[in-house]
Amino acid sequence: MANAPAVQMAQPQASFKHTTAAPSRKVAVGGVAGAMVTVVVFVLNNYLKTPIPTDISTALTVILSFAASYWVPPAETDQVVPA
């Protein structure tokens, strides 16, 4: 196929680097959200007649941790700068 159309490569997006070793607010919120879901599922499993299946609790933890991390913007003090 000599006349095949050329494939255009996507332009790389700007990457970011941290200026400190401290986790950003987004990372901290995601971790706290995951821990909170785990504790809530543990408490509910002790009080419900039918416990929440492990697969469902794991999926809830991942989904809610991701959602919390996605929606929280980095703080000004996170010192996230364009690379």
pLDDT at 4 (0 to 100) = 65
At 10-68, the pLDDT tens digits run 666 666 666 677 778 889 999 999 999 999 999 999 998 889 999 999 999 999 999 99
- The per-residue pLDDT for 78 is 74
Specify the DSSP element, H or E, that contains 6: none
Taking CA atoms, 29 is separated from 14, 36, 54, 67, 72, in Å, by 23, 10, 23, 10, 8
Model pLDDT, residue 74: 81
pLDDT the model gives residue 71: 94
Cα–Cα nearest to 32, from 72, 70, 65, 71: 65
Q: What is the DSSP letter of 17?
A: E
Of 53, 51, 58, 23, the closest CA to residue 37 belongs to 58
Q: What are phi and psi of 70, to 5 degrees?
A: -70, -45
